[in-house]
Chain A
Amino acid sequence: GAVVSQHPSWVICKSGTSVKIECRSLDFQATTMFWYRQFPKQSLMLMATSNEGSKATYEQGVEKDKFLINHASLTLSTLTVTSAHPEDSSFYICSARVPQRQGLVEQYFGPGTRLTVT
């Protein structure tokens, strides 16, 4: 299957600072990537869809000015959490979809980034 990497895997930052998380597709090109957030023992929550060369599409309730997404190339999308607060502490996971034959779309996930805001 396709490989998606994320960096860093774990980051601790102080309240009020900004944190950037990188998501890379290692062996394929991804015109679209997805950012999810997951709180402990809860399900994945889609935050936004990242489109290469254009603005991201945010889900309802997600602040686009707080969670800045940039999809600069076909293999890299970044999520920047601006002015982070303790309530932003969560597990952030990116994913990419790879179209296959007969309409199948396979979705592959990165290993996730654990953000702790103190």
Chain B
Amino acid sequence: QKEVEQDPGPLSVPEGAIVSLNCTYSNSAFQYFMWYRQYSRKGPELLMYTYSSGNKEDGRFTAQVDKSSKYISLFIRDSQPSDSATYLCAMSKGQNFVFGPGTRLSVLP
């Protein structure tokens, strides 16, 4: 079993839809959970991070962590074509930092 699993997509949604992106992981020691966005031919950029379980909201983005299920989610409300990118989850404990493979999202106008 891979340490972090993520549906690679591609995921295509119409503009304005609510998008749900998910990752599962196996190492219960992870403490911080992050989401990165990577546009084509660009480096990933940190969107948001969450410590331990719970929700965190930032504008149209909501990150959710369920440590008991080892499951994290990123919700995008009112999705826009500019949200089209690859979304990578990441998790860490100290210097142990692991990325998921990424989900390609296309928001169609």
Interface size class of B (residues with CB under 8 A): 20 to 34
B49 adjacent to A106 (CB under 8 Å): yes
A1 adjacent to B42 (CB under 8 Å): no
B46 adjacent to A105 (CB under 8 Å): no
Residue from the list A97, A102, A107, A110 in contact with B51, Cβ < 8 A: A102
**Which residues in chain B, 26-51, are within 8 Å of chain A measured between CB atoms?**
31-32, 34, 36, 41-46, 49, 51
B36: which A residues are within 8 A, CB to CB?
A: 109
Per-residue CB contact flags for chain A residues 36-57 toward chain B (1 = under 8 Å, else 0) read: 0000011110000000000000
B102 adjacent to A43 (CB under 8 Å): yes
**Which residues in chain B, 66-97, are within 8 Å of chain A measured between CB atoms?**
88, 90, 92-95, 97
Residue from the list A43, A104, A109 in contact with B101, Cβ < 8 A: A43
Interface size class of A (residues with CB under 8 A): 20 to 34
A103 to B34, CA, bound (A): 14
A43 adjacent to B43 (CB under 8 Å): no
A105 adjacent to B44 (CB under 8 Å): no
CB-CB nearest in chain A for B98: A46
In angstroms, how far is the closest chain B Cβ from the Cβ of A66?
Answer: 23
A107 adjacent to B41 (CB under 8 Å): no
In angstroms, how far is the closest chain B Cβ from the Cβ of A97?
Answer: 7
List 22 interface pairs A-B (beta carbons < 8 Å), by A numbering: A4-B43, A43-B88, A43-B100, A43-B101, A44-B88, A44-B99, A93-B43, A95-B43, A102-B51, A103-B32, A104-B32, A104-B49, A104-B92, A105-B97, A106-B46, A107-B90, A107-B97, A108-B46, A109-B44, A109-B45, A111-B42, A112-B42
Contacts from A to B (Cβ < 8 Å): 1, 4, 6, 41-44, 91, 93, 95, 97, 102-112, 114
